[in-house]
Structure 1
Amino acid sequence: MAELRGIVSKRSTQTYIVAVGLMVMGLALTTLCFAAWFQGVEPRWSVILFGLLGVYMVFLGVDEGWLSGLEVTPRCLRLQSFGRWQEYPLEGLEAADGLRDILAGGLQLVLIGKEREALKVPLRRYRNAGQLAQALLDAAWLHNPDLVVMPRLARRLGTPPFGVMAARKGSRKPQWPLI
């Protein structure tokens, strides 16, 4: 039996600009702290603390630009961070909402389930964020046709099925390429 494959995130130019910006700021902060250490700035723990913050910013930039990703399949949501994939099953989701992300102002989906904590899915860094959001809502709708899409998100995207993971309403032919 043919199974649907997933939609994979595509990084945008903005993703790389934000990542390089984080890395440059982290390197600048670490360099300033290194110079302050040799100039004898007191207390020493503050210099170490801010130096470690700079190193963390460099690692965050590398993750943001090259090691993170997202994949939506009909069965689960897969998030990649620092090169490791985590799977989140889509069964049991009851509602979905959309928020503005404070980093870069993009879309952030919030998936709400009865028996688990709300899952926040940042879509700010992806060129195909709209298609990913529609695929995620379609996949959740396949598991729960009574999925509640909050008005704020419904105004922005509409209501499932969108035709990305599930056939559109009134269409008998699947809109997804089968493999």
Structure 2
Amino acid sequence: MKRGLLGCLVLLVVAVLLAGLTLWQSYNRLVKLDEAVKSAWAQVENVYQRRADLIPNLVETVKGARDFERETLTAVVEARAKVGQVTFSGVPNAQQFAQFQKAQDELSSALSRLLVVVERYPELRATEAFRDLQAQLEGTENRIAVERKRFNEAAQAYNTYRRRFPQVLIANLLGFAERPYFQATPGAERPPQVRF
């Protein structure tokens, strides 16, 4: 009888140790993946900030063009201001993420309209300052696409691990929430129409 009780006690201790080890490993892995998501998000914010910092220079350069459409310039300035109003700390939750993406999409749209309108002003396109700013802006847009992709990859790795068993139990217990993804804006599958 004592031998059976001792065997049960040993099995219980081993089971508790295994459960503790699983909890410990899962928690550490969730932390690592969560930090990767936060790092990727910081890079996304970094390249969006670079774009926001370039816009005042672009606006000032374009303002120098005679008879330039003020409404397009105003749309860019207002969209940039809206982007600055979307604030939160850390990686956003799904609602904050949607708000952030909407503001950034509006800014992208306003910038696209600005660059289309600029095509009508050959003297503006010929200035070295505008060409440099346009090249920097195009490079920044490429960086944004790359960093958004990296963020989505980090979020996917985190979300995939988080949803596995037994991690899903541990994640829910310890408050590790699912991370949202960047998605294409509605209508992005259709090519833009450019009319002069």
Question: Which has more radius of gyration?
Answer: 2
The TM-score, its normalising length taken from structure 1, stands at 0.36
Q: Whose helix fraction is larger, Structure 1's or Structure 2's? A: 2
Bigger relative contact order, structure 1 or 2 (CA pairs below 8 A, ≥6 apart): 2
Which structure shows the higher strand fraction?
1
TM-score (norm 2): 0.34
